[in-house]
């Protein structure tokens, strides 16, 4: 059977060469308008894109013969994965292809900041010669903070260690063993911010990482810290950077990514600041990286079209599971359960046990993938899916035990996560109650019913009169409404667990007022929004 693949966005020519070697016909037209692409796409079995082409649900309606779409790179934000999955179209990417190029670009930005290289170049080219003005500093002996010790963060660490930098890192899902192997010390986030002379981020943009550096938390920073971002725009609050620089809180900023690309007029004005150096998203823009991802995606897609291998697939398991409706509720529970568990887990928890009972035990393998996807999706610098979740977990040193249970249970289908390293909430169980109704039913031996949705305050307290009244009063004072609550205790007068669902997302200052109440301990804030 012959296949045809459409190559878009100026993908490296080696992509077409690899397909040709595999007997697959390709066409690489000049830039197509959305209308032209919609008219053309129906004739092809596969399509390779980079970041420019937007693969929407509407476009896929015209893709009558499409079997696989390949992203020559990491990010798949420009591809509607849900629409592709529902249509049975495989989506693939090349998560390793850009690692070295992005790590090297980050290191180049660090050195450029330290030695004022871009500013000095501009001065000399303009006929100036002010050596004193551009006096730099050595990176040797300086402390480098890295947020996110995934593939790219780890490669940056290895390179800057060779420059004599002392590397500290914050990554709640990297084990101490992994960090020690590459010569890095894991610390808490506030400690990292307070100690770092240079700070580089290698995480996705989430509610937890958005505005990680801003005027709001300026007091946490070491004075004069130099900031680098080659990960995702928005992790540093761009609008706050000029004042942070003018006040001397931040000594310099190097940006390769932005909240809007290309920047709008307002953002360009911010980038004019003399202590900000900036590049147009060049992290993956090396000849070697573009050739590597083009070669990889062609080989992967050819294998998939020939039903030989599905390496690099983002939604392969999802497509297979669409034909098995029985597993869908369990998989939805697993991902939501993982998202909750990660917000309750002790940091650097390396030993985990996943236990499955009832019908869920039949799907234990994929449900473990689902839990890991939920746990890791907000903490790694690449897109996490059912295919690669275990790879990310392995790279961070996770030790996972999978158990199918036959012990008597109060619920037909029970999933239990146990953190063997301990913690305040070390044992959590959940179950499916109905269509879209997923609940935690037990925490540390306390019976409780907690819907896996919305925003939740979870805490332990002494079981005595007035505890709930004090919490509800503190929430009322802040105009925060209670949507639902659940309490669990083992016996009268013992410690208890309380979960309060609220109608809005809460910030640290609002939570602090709850945490300060007498009798409240081990407060956690869980958000699914």
**Nearest Cα to 110, choosing from 91, 135, 84, 138?**
138
Q: Is there a catalytic annotation at residue 489?
A: no
**Nearest Cα to 398, choosing from 442, 339, 354, 357?**
354
105 with 282: CB under 8 angstroms?
A: yes
**In the structure encoding, which two tokens stand for residue 429, read together?**
């169980």
- 3-state secondary structure string across 383-449: CCCCCCHHHHHHHCCCEEEEEEECCCCCCCCEEEEEECCCCCCCEEEEEEEECCEEEEEEECCEEEE
Q: Which of 71, 202, 232, 439 is catalytic?
A: 232
Q: Is 464 exposed, middle or buried (0-12, 13-18, 19+ CB in 10 A)?
A: exposed
CA distance 59 to 42: 10
**Nearest Cα to 295, choosing from 7, 14, 75?**
14
Q: Which of 36, 138, 261, 288 is catalytic?
A: 261
DSSP-assigned beta bridge partners for residue 150: none
**Nearest Cα to 95, choosing from 400, 398, 395?**
395
Q: Is there a catalytic annotation at residue 155?
A: no
Bond before 262 cis per omega within 30 degrees: yes
- 3-state secondary structure string across 98-109: CHHHHHHHHHHH
**In the structure encoding, which two tokens stand for residue 480, read together?**
């925060």
Please tell me what DSSP assigns to residue 211. Answer: T
Q: Which of 281, 347, 390, 515 is catalytic?
A: 281
CA distance 51 to 71: 8
The upper half-sphere exposure of residue 40, i.e. CA atoms within 13 Å in the direction of its Cβ, equals: 18
Q: Is there a catalytic annotation at residue 281?
A: yes
> Which residues 6+ apart lie within 8 Å of 362 measured at CB?
none
Phi and psi at residue 131, to the nearest 5°:
-70, -40
Residues marked as catalytic: 232, 261, 281
């Amino acid at each position: 059977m012959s296949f045809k693949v459409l190559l878009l966005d100026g993908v490296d020519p080696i992509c077409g060469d690899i397909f040709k070697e595999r007997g697959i016909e390709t066409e690489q037209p000049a830039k197509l308008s959305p209308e032209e692409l919609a008219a053309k796409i129906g004739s092809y079995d596969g399509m390779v894109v980079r970041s420019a082409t937007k693969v929407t649900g509407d476009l896929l309606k015209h893709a009558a013969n499409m079997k696989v779409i390949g992203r020559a790179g990491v990010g798949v934000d420009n591809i509607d994965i849900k629409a592709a999955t529902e249509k049975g179209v495989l989506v693939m990417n090349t998560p390793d292809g850009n690692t070295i190029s992005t790590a090297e670009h980050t290191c180049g930005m660090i050195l450029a900041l330290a030695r004022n290289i871009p500013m000095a170049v501009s001065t000399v080219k303009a006929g100036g010669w002010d050596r004193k003005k551009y006096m730099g500093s050595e990176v040797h002996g300086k402390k480098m903070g890295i947020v996110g010790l995934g593939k790219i963060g780890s490669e940056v660490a290895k390179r800057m260690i060779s420059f004599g930098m002392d590397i500290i890192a914050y990554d709640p899902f990297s084990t101490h063993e992994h960090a020690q192997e590459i010569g890095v010390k894991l610390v808490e986030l506030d400690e990292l911010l307070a100690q770092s002379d240079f700070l580089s981020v290698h995480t996705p943009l989430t509610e937890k990482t958005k505005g990680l550096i801003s005027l709001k938390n300026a007091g946490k920073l070491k004075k004069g810290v130099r900031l680098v971002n080659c990960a995702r725009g928005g992790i540093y609050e761009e609008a706050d950077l000029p004042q942070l620089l003018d006040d001397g809180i931040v000594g310099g900023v190097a940006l390769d990514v932005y909240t809007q690309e290309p920047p709008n007029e307002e953002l360009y004005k911010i980038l004019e600041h003399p202590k900000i150096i900036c590049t147009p998203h060049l992290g993956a823009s090396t000849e070697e990286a573009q050739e590597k991802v083009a070669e990889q995606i062609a080989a992967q897609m050819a294998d998939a079209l020939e039903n030989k291998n599905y390496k690099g697939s983002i939604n392969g398991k999802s497509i297979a599971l669409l034909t098995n409706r029985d597993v869908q509720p369990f998989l939805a529970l697993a991902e939501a359960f993982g998202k909750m568990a990660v917000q309750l887990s002790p940091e650097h928890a390396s030993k985990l046990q996943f236990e499955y009972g009832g019908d869920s035990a039949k799907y234990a393998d994929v449900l473990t993938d689902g839990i890991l996807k939920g746990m890791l999706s907000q903490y790694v610098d690449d897109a996490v899916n059912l295919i690669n979740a275990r790879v990310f977990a392995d790279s961070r040193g996770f030790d996972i035990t999978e158990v199918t249970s036959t012990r008597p249970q109060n619920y037909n289908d029970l999933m239990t996560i146990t953190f063997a390293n301990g913690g305040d909430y070390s044992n959590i169980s959940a179950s499916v109650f109905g269509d879209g109704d997923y609940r935690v039913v037990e925490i540390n031996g306390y019976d409780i019913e907690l819907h896996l949705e919305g925003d939740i305050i979870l805490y332990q307290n002494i079981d005595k009169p007035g505890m709930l009244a004090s919490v509800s009063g503190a929430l009322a004072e802040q105009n925060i409404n209670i949507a639902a609550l659940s309490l669990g205790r083992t016996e009268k007068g013992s410690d208890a667990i309380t979960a309060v669902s609220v109608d809005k997302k809460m910030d640290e200052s609002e939570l602090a007022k709850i945490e300060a109440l007498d009798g409240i301990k081990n407060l956690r804030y869980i958000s699914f929004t």
